């Protein structure tokens, strides 16, 4: 499915801002895995997702998707394997384009884009149906510009866009962090539903330990650019926030300093 072998990345090499962001990450995802990723600030959670997405080239190591080596592929080429939702609701959609146009863009992920119509009648009907399922009333506003929508609505649309064309892996990068608690819960539930219905393989970065425990079938914890804990199945179901904190201190020898993770 997805395999990371000894992935390294250092930012700003040779400057005073040099930062070892990934320090030998090894990870193997099975088909249908839904992995939650936790860790303190700067642990490398989002960096792992960006490495998989190819936002920049990695320094060392190999990234395989479905056995295919994608390490040398640029971001827009890897997009055909991936669905992505970002922390900032503004990042995932195009504000100046209509809701239906945004979805049409996503429907062509991984395809050649030529001089055929950017959106077809059949697609409009399909999008109407999908939007109605979100239950946000967006199906009646398909020609509205996405810029007019709220953050939660935009995240819901981004989720739809990320999964419209079945991705091999869905990458959720703290995608509810910028939303109010109620909306965040809604978007999270929607993510669960979409992942389950389509049997997707997914990785979700979160700073909320409880969310990380409740969602998914596998949990990894990162610290200083490394995966320090990887639990799944029954073991994951039984674990508590306190257990996680204790394990973190045991393994890393530090205290988990992240209020959001503790309180959230």
| Torsion sign across C-alpha atoms 171, 177, 179, 185 | positive
Name the minimum Å distance from CB 84 to another protein.
Answer: 5
Place of tokens 């090499």: 13
**Backbone phi and psi for residue 146, each to the nearest 5 degrees, phi listed first:** -60, -30
Contact call for residue 115 and another protein (CB under 8 A): yes
Q: Which range in 84-92, 190-198, 224-232, 244-252 contacts another protein by CB under 8 A?
A: 84-92
> Rounded to an integer, what distance in angstroms lies between the CA atom of residue 53 and that of residue 96?
25
Closer residue to another protein in complex, CB, 23/94: 94
Contact call for residue 92 and another protein (CB under 8 A): yes
Contact 104, 191 (CB under 8 A): no
Contact call for residue 106 and another protein (CB under 8 A): yes
CA–chain centroid gap for 41, Å, is 17
Contact call for residue 109 and another protein (CB under 8 A): yes
Closer residue to another protein in complex, CB, 120/193: 120
Q: Which range in 62-70, 74-82, 194-202, 206-214 contacts another protein by CB under 8 A?
A: 74-82
> Rounded to an integer, what distance in angstroms lies between the CA atom of residue 110 and that of residue 80?
4
For 232, residues 6+ apart whose C-beta sits below 8 A from its C-beta are 217, 218, 219
Contact call for residue 261 and another protein (CB under 8 A): no
Which one of residues 5, 8, 20, 108 is an interface residue with another protein (CB under 8 A)? 108
Strands 2-11, 19-29: parallel, antiparallel or unpaired by DSSP? antiparallel
Contact call for residue 104 and another protein (CB under 8 A): yes
Interactions with another protein, residue window 135-174 (CB under 8 A): 161
Contact call for residue 91 and another protein (CB under 8 A): yes
Name the minimum Å distance from CB 207 to another protein.
Answer: 21
Contact call for residue 118 and another protein (CB under 8 A): yes
Contact call for residue 116 and another protein (CB under 8 A): yes
Name the minimum Å distance from CB 59 to another protein.
Answer: 20
Interactions with another protein, residue window 42-71 (CB under 8 A): 53
Which element (helix H / strand E) includes 78? helix 75-78
Residue of 220, 71, 95, 97 whose CA lies nearest to 147: 95
3-class secondary-structure state, position 254: coil
Which element (helix H / strand E) includes 37? strand 34-39
Contact footprint for another protein (CB under 8 A) = 53, 75-77, 79-80, 82, 84, 86, 90-97, 101, 104-106, 108-111, 113-119, 161
């Amino acid at each position: 499915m997805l395999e990371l072998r000894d992935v390294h990345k250092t930012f700003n090499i040779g400057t005073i801002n040099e930062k070892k962001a990934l320090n030998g990450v090894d990870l193997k995802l099975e088909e249908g895995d839904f992995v939650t990723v936790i860790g303190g600030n700067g642990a490398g959670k989002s960096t792992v997702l960006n490495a998989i997405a190819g936002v920049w080239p990695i320094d060392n190591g190999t990234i395989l998707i479905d056995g295919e080596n994608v390490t040398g592929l640029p971001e827009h080429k890897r997009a055909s394997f991936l669905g992505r939702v970002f922390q900032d609701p503004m990042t995932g959609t195009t504000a100046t384009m209509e809701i239906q146009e945004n979805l049409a863009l996503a429907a062509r992920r991984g395809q050649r884009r030529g001089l055929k119509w950017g959106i077809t009648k059949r697609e409009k009907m399909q999008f109407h149906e999908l939007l109605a399922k979100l239950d946000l009333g967006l199906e009646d506003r398909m020609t509205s510009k996405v810029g007019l929508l709220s953050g939660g609505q935009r995240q819901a649309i981004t989720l739809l866009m990320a999964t419209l064309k079945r991705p091999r892996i869905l990458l959720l990068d703290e995608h509810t962090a910028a939303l109010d608690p109620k909306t965040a819960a809604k978007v999270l539930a929607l993510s669960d539903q979409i992942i389950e219905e389509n049997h997707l393989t997914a990785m979700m970065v979160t700073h909320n330990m409880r969310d990380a425990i409740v969602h998914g079938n596998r949990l990894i914890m990162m610290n200083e650019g490394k995966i320090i804990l990887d639990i799944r199945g029954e073991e994951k179901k039984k674990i508590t926030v306190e257990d996680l904190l204790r394990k973190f201190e045991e393994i890393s020898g530090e205290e988990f300093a992240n209020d959001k993770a503790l309180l959230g």
